[in-house]
Structure 1
Amino acid sequence: MRERNVTIVTTSMNLDGPFNSFIASPGLISMHVSVSQRLPFFENTLDIVHSMHVLSNWIPDAMLEFTLYDIYRVLRPGGFSGLIISSIWSVQLNETYVPMMDRVGFKKLRWNAGMKLDRGIKKNKWYFSALLE
């Protein structure tokens, strides 16, 4: 990406590991930002925002919606957000997450949900991934 003059900024959670050091080692810009903070970027400045296994049912709905609005805020028009949301109940997908995405204003480009296997056992928990514009 460096050859194409693309800057990659990534964040990690502090889970007692050297995640930020590992991320920064190949030259990426690493930050620690919690889900309760606004992203430290101006409006319409990013082309892509990706989240994996951070946005989940452990976050209160109001905070999740705040985070989604903030992602929407920093994206340039035509920018993309890739979200992977794990460990949600199937009822949450239709009653909480779908209406929330609609309220924020994302255009849904690709939308997948699949049952989560926990130690080989199927439970009524799901992984949900979305490519949003």
Structure 2
Amino acid sequence: MVQSLVISFDVSVSQRLPFFDNTLDIVHSMHVLSNWIPDAMLEFTLYDIYRVLRPGGLFWLDRFFCLGSQLNQTYVPMLDRVGFRNLRWNAGMKLERGIDKNEWYFSALLEKPMT
């Protein structure tokens, strides 16, 4: 019998996640991680998510907001440095004001490699 437990909680991006290394199957972040977080703190947070995921675990980064220039220059390389494997990636221009300001949302399903 397979058992699963879903824990929903809020934690500040300035804190480490309160879990042991390699213990979670999935981490989902929606509308929290975005370009408002300084790059060094965001990268620290991504490494902490990587730390708590078990090998093969999934990180679902949902509706990450950024400027078009930041997407490929800052955030794609940052996710690659952390070590996630890209399973699915969707990006789209923010429709409310995005056309004039080159604002984008992206969502990604990322995996912590088995090795």
Please give the TM-score of this superposition, normalised by the length of structure 2: 0.89
Q: Which residue of 2 aligns with 1:15?
A: none
- Count how many residue pairs are aligned between Structure 1 and Structure 2: 110
Which of 8, 11, 18 is equivalent to 1:10? Answer: 8
SS at match of 2:78: helix
Q: Does 1:43 align with 2:21?
A: yes
Q: Which residue of 2 aligns with 1:17?
A: none
**CA-to-partner distance for each residue in 1:52-77, whole Å, 9 max, x for gaps?**
01001110000110010000000000
Q: Which residue of 2 aligns with 1:111?
A: 89
User: For residues 93 and 24 of structure 2, what CA distance do their matches in structure 1 show?
Assistant: 31
**CA-to-partner distance for each residue in 1:83-130, whole Å, 9 max, x for gaps?**
0243310110101001001100000111111001126x6341000110
Q: Does 1:80 align with 2:62?
A: no
Provide runs of 4+ in structure 1 moved above 3 Å: none
Which of 68, 78, 87 is equivalent to 1:100? Answer: 78
Q: Which residue of 1 aligns with 2:109?
A: 131
Deviation of 1:4 (Å) = 5.1
Q: Does 1:52 align with 2:50?
A: no
- 5+ residue gaps, structure 2, are none
SS at match of 1:10: coil
SS at match of 2:94: strand
User: For residues 74 and 8 of structure 2, what CA distance do their matches in structure 1 show?
Assistant: 27
Q: Which amino acid aligns with 2:4?
A: V
Aligned-pair RMSD on alpha carbons? Answer: 1.6
Q: Percent identity?
A: 72
User: For residues 47 and 55 of structure 1, what CA distance do their matches in structure 2 show?
Assistant: 19
User: For residues 87 and 49 of structure 1, what CA distance do their matches in structure 2 show?
Assistant: 18
Q: Which amino acid aligns with 1:10?
A: S
